[in-house]
Amino acid sequence: MERLSGTRIASVLILAVVAAALAWVVSPAALPGVTRIVVLAGAVMSLNLLIGNLGLISMGHGLFIGAGAYIVAVANVKYGVPVGQGALLAIGGAVLLAIVTGFMVLRARALFFALLTLAFSQVAFVFVARDYSLTGGDDGLVGIDIPAWLDGDVQKHLLAVATTTLVCLLILIMLASPFGATLRAIRDNRDRVASLGANPTFHEFVGYIIASALGAMVGVTAAVTREAVEPGVFSWVTGATLLVMVALGGRSAFFGPIVGLAILELTRSWVQSFSEHGDLAIGALVILCALLFPEGVAPWANDVFAAHRARKREAG
């Protein structure tokens, strides 16, 4: 069982402080971009709760991020609900959605699970993109009325950092609990857990709901920091992008997804600054990483560190 070690909590908090400090380091024009990446970090972490700890490869995580974003946006823009209450509504709605879809998607395994989740988010995408009266159709919704204390890029950035940090801490606490240990046991050997008397499907169901609620939290933050939503979050692009980030960084390391996110996004923005062949560069980079680190960059880095430390201990 993984323990809730001080180093882990400290590393999350240090990362959070560094991310927050970026608000004063980067130029004001670049700050919204950085905020977007911080929000994405929360999204990949919540997705890796499913992939890394449950072995459930979801390609439809955009469904819950989108649900969170859209519930808060629709409630605010169409019905004048303040963002705070809207956020609670969004998380509640996402939990309901997870309960309903969970019954259906958890019957399937592996690739079937991936495509079934993808199908649900794709269906949601079409419904949201077609409905111009409620969800604003292809254009999405703009003009979310945010409270005064959030007005400003720096404040929004801090909110994004706070959300992502909260997501990371919640996941850490869950992983350290007996519940988290059972989840990983189910991932490794489902039948054995069942034979020991635990109910694998129930645990998977709860894990799925938690990951969805965390995804919705991230979605709310995405909507509030951008003051707008657009239907693209539901589409397969979101699900696939998050999945590739998790695969690239490494699903078995805690910060793996964030490493993958950093590699992809930094390369993209760097290459796009001087060339329009961003896809070519990213494709080559992803292939290179697949050949060198098929299990992700972060687990490999962890191994290197561990070996280095062991050698030091032997020498000293």
Partner 1 sequence: MDWRLLLAQIVAGIAAGALYFLVASGLTLIWGAFSVINLAHGSFFMIAAFATTACVAAFGPQAGLLTALIAVPLAVCALAVVLEKTLFHRVHRFGMWGQLLFSFGLLLILNDLVRTIFGPVPRSISPPEMLRSYVALGGVRIASYQMAILAVTGLVALFLWILLARSRTGRLIRAAVDDPAMLGAVGVDVSRLRARVMGIAAFLAGIAGVVAAPRGAVNTALDVQTVLIAFAVIVIGGLGSVWGALFAALLIGVAEAVSTLYIDQGSEVVIFAVMALILIVRPTGLRTIVGRA
| Cα 268 to Cα 118: distance, rounded to the nearest angstrom | 25
- Per CB under 8 A, contacts with partner 1 among 248-267 are 248, 251
Q: What is the DSSP letter of 177?
A: S
| Cα 267 to Cα 37: distance, rounded to the nearest angstrom | 13
Residues 6+ apart with CB under 8 A from 133: none
208 near partner 1, judged by CB under 8 A: no
Residue 180: closest CA among 167, 189, 193, 171 = 171
298 near partner 1, judged by CB under 8 A: no
Select from 78, 192, 277, 308 the one that contacts partner 1 (CB under 8 A): 277
Q: Measured from the CB atom, is 86 or 296 closer to partner 1?
A: 296
Q: Measured from the CB atom, is 30 or 126 closer to partner 1?
A: 126
Q: Which amino acid is located at 88 in the chain? A: L
DSSP per-residue codes, 198-231: --HHHHHHHHHHHHHHHHHHHHHHHHHHHTEE-G
Contact 48, 246 (CB under 8 A): yes
| Cα 55 to Cα 183: distance, rounded to the nearest angstrom | 9
- Per CB under 8 A, contacts with partner 1 among 35-54 are none
Q: Closest distance between partner 1 and the C-beta of residue 137, in Å?
A: 12
296 near partner 1, judged by CB under 8 A: yes
70 near partner 1, judged by CB under 8 A: no
Alpha carbon of 207 to those of 50, 52, 141, 254: distances in Å? Answer: 7, 12, 31, 16
Q: Closest distance between partner 1 and the C-beta of residue 59, in Å?
A: 10
From the list 22-30, 151-159, 171-179, 245-253, the region that binds partner 1 by CB under 8 A is 245-253
Q: Closest distance between partner 1 and the C-beta of residue 221, in Å?
A: 27
In terms of DSSP bridges, do strands 228-229 and 141-142 run parallel, antiparallel, or are they unpaired?
antiparallel
Select from 283, 304, 305, 307 the one that contacts partner 1 (CB under 8 A): 283
120 near partner 1, judged by CB under 8 A: yes
Q: Which residues bind partner 1 (CB under 8 A)?
A: 104, 107-109, 111-112, 115-116, 118-120, 122-123, 126-127, 129-130, 236, 240, 243-244, 247-248, 251, 277, 279-280, 282-291, 294-296
